[in-house]
Amino acid sequence: MLASGCESEQVTQLVDRIRGTAPETQRPPVRVKTISVGFPEILPDQVFSGEVEPEKSVVLTAPYGGTLTALRVRKGERVGGGQAVAVIRSQSVESALQIAEASLDQARDANERLQKVYTSGAIPEIQKIDIETQLAKAEATAAAARRAVADGTVKTPYRGIIGELYVDQGVEVLPGQRIALLMDMNVLNIRIDVHENDISSIVIGTPAIVSVPALGLENLSAVVSERGYVASPLTRSYSCILRLADRNPKLMPGMVVKASFAVPEVTGDRRIVVPAAAVRMDTEGKYVWTVVDGRACKVHIVPDGYSGRGIIVSEGLSAGDRVIVEGFQKVSTGMEVIE
């Protein structure tokens, strides 16, 4: 069993008073927020910030460099599948087509002349095959050149809305340069970032309640459809996708949302669970700050895995103990606190 940090601290304070070394100044009490630990259902819901985004979106880019001679859509415009968005003209691509067409005409003429001569038996079979091969190559080259010119007309792959335009008509564009953003608005999802301390409680299929403050919408049902497995190197968080149960026409991409997760009550579960954010670590192991008789007390704990609401504690705490969840950075052992 773990010894209580408060008991040892009280002994230390008693010795200090006997020796006359106890501090004379009295610090003002620190305001903290606590929870009474116990069954999982008494812990607060997990709440994460996120934003609305379309399930499908694609950035349309320039297939090659050239002049953007026509921009046929506007931002916010609804477009159909295969609709032209922009037209790019390249002098080099058009010249390549002219050369390919001329070579094809020459190959066709040579093939027609050969067929007349071949029927009279004036040329061998191998020469006939060579001419036909040259014709096939010319046809393939011309077809590729035509496709390149046709690719200069940038088209939408599916129906959606033009969310953004990145260029203006008449400008010179580079190969791969962004032209427009196409968004499929039929299905909107919620993207949230979950910290590494909480990701263990989020699995595919976990239900969530979503609110959109900008629209005054609350209690929108959603479910986790994708769970990230690679953490951001900067925030140490994982990206998760929530799918809304019902389509709301008021929702727009980029709107800020709040997603809360409520873990169902487990009948007969007698384990102590504390929020992961409240657990700290020192040279002796993991600990939490509790409040006993209005004073802060450091209590070392023995973790026993994770639940949907936080860290399971096998030793160190009892049901009803008040654990500091906000303001623990400002307290020390024995310091007077206000809840």
What are the tokens at 309? 């609401």
Give the residue range(s) of CATH 2.40.30.170 domains in the chain.
46-56+185-261
pTM over 0.85, yes/no: no
Side-chain half-sphere of 46: how many Cα atoms within 13 Å? 27
Query: What number of helices (H) and strands (E) belong to the chain?
Result: 3, 22
Determine the Cα–Cα distance for residues 32 and 34; give it in Å rounded to an integer. Answer: 7
The DSSP symbol for 4 reads P
CATH number for region 46-56+185-261: 2.40.30.170
- Using CA atoms of 126, 131, 137, 139 in order, give the dihedral in degrees to the nearest 10: -140
What are the tokens at 43? 């812990």
Contact 198, 220 (CB under 8 A): no
Superfamily of chain region 57-155: Helix hairpin bin (1.10.287.470)
Contact 313, 301 (CB under 8 A): yes
Tell me how many degrees the CA angle 21-24-25 measures, rounded to the nearest 5. Answer: 140
Give the residue range(s) of CATH 1.10.287.470 domains in the chain.
57-155
Domain 5-44+267-338, classified CATH 3.40.630.40, yes or no: no
Give the residue range(s) of CATH 2.40.420.20 domains in the chain.
5-44+267-338
φ/ψ of residue 40, rounded to 5: -55, -30
Determine the Cα–Cα distance for residues 287 and 336; give it in Å rounded to an integer. Answer: 19
Determine the Cα–Cα distance for residues 12 and 14; give it in Å rounded to an integer. Answer: 5
**CA 218 from centroid of its chain's CA atoms:** 22
Contact 271, 308 (CB under 8 A): no
**pLDDT in single tens digits along all 339 residues of the chain:** 555 556 555 555 554 554 544 454 467 888 989 888 865 444 456 788 899 999 899 999 999 999 999 999 999 999 999 999 999 999 999 999 999 999 999 999 888 888 777 776 677 888 888 888 999 999 999 999 999 999 999 999 999 999 999 999 999 999 999 999 999 988 889 999 988 877 887 889 989 999 999 998 888 899 999 998 998 888 888 999 999 988 888 888 999 999 988 654 444 455 688 888 889 999 999 999 999 999 999 999 998 876 656 788 888 988 889 999 998 888 888 899 998
Look at the alpha carbons of 293, 296, 301, 303 in this order and tell me if their dihedral is positive or negative: positive
Which amino acid is present at 205?
G
